[in-house]
Structure 1
Amino acid sequence: MVIEGDWLKQQIADWGISLTEEQLSQFEVYYQHLVETNQWMNLTAITDHHEVYVKHFYDSLTIIRHIPIKQIQTVIDIGTGAGFPGIPLKIAFPHIRLVLLDSLKKRIGFLQEVVNKLNLKQVDCIHGRAEDWGQSQGLRESFDLVTARAVARLNILAEYCLPFAKVGGRFIAMKGSLIEDEVSEAKKALVQLGNATVKTINLSLPEGMGDRHLLLIEKKKKTPKIFPRRAGIPAKQPLK
């Protein structure tokens, strides 16, 4: 714990963020529960201690270098899977009110266990599809920040995610190394979904562990009520 926690603390200290001993302990408990549960539930292909800290925890926190995180109050993580980037963001910034949304009930059960073990407050773990919840009055256009990590191509992902963002809010899509075609094909969809603009940010993980892109999308107008379309339609008939 000391080695990996200290490594993470030093890395993000360069960004002006200081993690307490309690927060470092929360990251380690999260790691232990992740790898234990992963023995019987498919949560991650990465289980090496240091790799989880780099490729999951550090990677999740790269978002904070590009947005005014202390001004952000509400975050929803779409297709959160094992909780990335939502839970690392919540550990590092406890003031955030967080919603974790995933379509697999077993994963939601795991996430609720993590929330309980870490004693995280103001976190809701919701089972369901983004297409359904994106039409919900309680969640639609309610969030300062919407996140998604490698869920789908951007023209599909934007329809899942932008309906949740407030006008003036942000949607960050966390992507791998090859994104040029994806960004190009999504531009018309982004206009339809909220006159949104996209900024591409290149970054590399430490120790040569991979290249990443953050697609920082700002929503300028309300999303038309027809979006998101019924479950399954965005993937079958992507906006063009």
Structure 2
Amino acid sequence: MATGRVAGDNGEIANHLLRQGLSRLGIRATPAQLHAFAVYRSELLRWAAHVNLTGFKSEEAIVREGFLRSLTYKAAFEPAPGLVAVDIGSGAGLPGLALKICYPEIGMLLVDATRRRVTFMRHIIRQLGLNGVRCLWARAESLQGETEHRGRYHLAFARAVGALPEVVALAEPLLAPGGRLVIQCGQETAPSLQAMRAHLTALGMRALVVQAPGVDVGSPPTQLLALEKSLR
């Protein structure tokens, strides 16, 4: 899968954290997948010296808050061949690329409006030799009027795009009937959800709160919100 080099004195600590976290999440990664994450981590740090990709300043932060936090999204859906997902505002490829590494059967579109981030994601895809994934340099709202994207995706992810109403407005037109928008819950999620209930009903979407294991030993469970589009 991956051919890049991995460097850094903290690499073994980060690798150990990753293996522990994957075990807690119930993910059995192959040696090739573990190596892919190591290459991804190393490239994130190398590019961060020149390009603003994420706020992660250490290998451990990349593993905990980047990779493992992204992989908690799997608690909100069942990976299967034929699933197609869109990652809105993907940034450095999270959560989309982390999920793609562990679940290669999922088709993935990564969308970001910042060219340098798209350049990085394309670089990582080449480095890891990933298939069934592509990057698009665009604003998510521009996809809504295109037949290639409108109503096509079984899953939509949005990690750091904006407030809940904005995320729903961006993602809902892209979802196929029965598709799910998955986001991580924050302190503002519950009041935003309550305020949007009538609007979600009008859109034909129902809200499901999903709990995933914590990303680290002793950390609290991760709360996810899945907004499911009706089949009509």
Q: Does 1:50 align with 2:24?
A: no
2:29 corresponding residue in structure 1: 19
Picking from 151, 156, 175, the partner of 1:141 is 151
Residue pair 2:73, 2:183 contacting (<8 A) in 1 also: no
Q: Does 1:4 align with 2:14?
A: yes
Runs of at least 5 residues in structure 1 that lack an aligned partner in the other structure: 223-240
Q: Which stretch of structure 1 is more off in the superposition, 160-169 or 211-220?
A: 211-220
Identity of aligned pairs, percent?
A: 28
Provide Cα deviations, 1:36-73, integer angstroms capped at 9, x if missing partner.
Answer: 11111111111211121011100000111232123662
Aligned-pair distance for 1:181? 1.2
Residue pair 2:17, 2:60 contacting (<8 A) in 1 also: no
Q: What is the identity, as a one-letter code, of the residue corresponding to 1:13?
A: S
In 1, distance between residues paired with 2:82 and 2:99?
Answer: 11
In 1, distance between residues paired with 2:40 and 2:185?
Answer: 23
Provide Cα deviations, 1:108-142, integer angstroms capped at 9, x if missing partner.
Answer: 11110111111111111001111111221001111
2:127 corresponding residue in structure 1: 117
Q: What is the identity, as a one-letter code, of the residue corresponding to 1:158?
A: V
Aligned-pair distance for 1:207? 4.2
TM-score by length of 2: 0.87
Residue pair 2:25, 2:72 contacting (<8 A) in 1 also: no
1:105 corresponding residue in structure 2: 115
Question: What does 1:89-100 align with in structure 2 at a 5 Å threshold?
Answer: 89-100=99-110
1:153 corresponding residue in structure 2: 163
Residue pair 1:140, 1:165 contacting (<8 A) in 2 also: yes
TM-score by length of 1: 0.84
Q: What is the identity, as a one-letter code, of the residue corresponding to 1:217?
A: L
- Please provide the CA RMSD for this pair: 2.0
- Aligned residues, how many? 221
Residue pair 2:88, 2:156 contacting (<8 A) in 1 also: yes
Residue pair 1:202, 1:212 contacting (<8 A) in 2 also: yes
Runs of at least 5 residues in structure 2 that lack an aligned partner in the other structure: 1-10
Bigger relative contact order, structure 1 or 2 (CA pairs below 8 A, ≥6 apart): 2
Q: What is the identity, as a one-letter code, of the residue corresponding to 2:77?
A: I
In 2, distance between residues paired with 1:91 and 1:14?
Answer: 17
Question: What does 1:1-240 align with in structure 2 at a 5 Å threshold?
Answer: 1-70=11-80, 73-193=83-203, 195-202=204-211, 204-207=214-217, 212-221=222-231
